[in-house]
Structures are given as structure tokens and as C-alpha cells.
């Protein structure tokens, strides 16, 4: 289902807390216990500037030994 939302240009996320509160949610919505609820939230994604200030992977990882920098070509 998430891929369908993506294909439609929408963002989506599973809301998993509903599974932790099954009895309460079923009671509020008058849903039989024999059914499992799944909830997806979807919306049009916000356009963001994709510029990142994060360090490159070569700046925060090492090659086998701590202190031995990785090859910068993998950034």
C-alpha cells in the first residue's frame, strides 16, 4: 500500500500505536475483536530544500581500524 501512495506522489506512514491499543480502539469504533485494524496516514509531501549539512560517511567512519580513514571516493 505504501508503494501505491508513493506512485500517486503522496507520502504515507503506518501508524503502529493503534496495534498497541487494540482493545481500546476496537471499543471506541465498535469494531469486532475478530478484525485487525491497520491505519495509514497520507498527505502530499512538503517540498524541501535537499541541501544537507551532514558530514560525509568518510568523515565519520573508519576502515577496519579506529583512526584509519576510509577512502573518500565512497562519499
Domain ranges within the chain, ordered by starting residue: 1-44
- Rounded to 5 degrees, φ, ψ at 43 are -165, 165
Position 72 scores a pLDDT of 59
CB atoms within 10 A of CB 48: 6
The single-letter DSSP state of residue 5 is H
Position 71 scores a pLDDT of 65
Position 74 scores a pLDDT of 55
Instruction: Return d(Cα 11, Cα 22) in angstroms, integer.
Output: 25
Instruction: Return d(Cα 38, Cα 15) in angstroms, integer.
Output: 8
Instruction: Give every residue of the chain whose pLDDT is below 70, as ranges.
Output: 70-75
Amino acid at each position: 500500500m505504501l508503494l501505491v501512495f508513493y506512485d500517486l506522489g503522496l507520502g504515507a506512514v503506518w501508524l503502529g500505536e493503534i496495534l498497541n491499543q487494540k482493545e481500546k480502539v476496537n471499543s471506541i469504533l465498535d469494531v469486532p475483536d475478530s478484525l485487525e485494524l491497520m491505519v495509514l496516514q497520507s498527505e502530499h509531501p512538503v517540498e524541501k530544500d535537499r541541501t544537507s549539512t551532514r558530514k560525509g560517511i568518510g568523515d565519520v567512519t573508519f576502515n577496519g581500524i579506529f583512526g584509519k580513514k576510509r577512502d573518500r571516493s565512497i562519499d
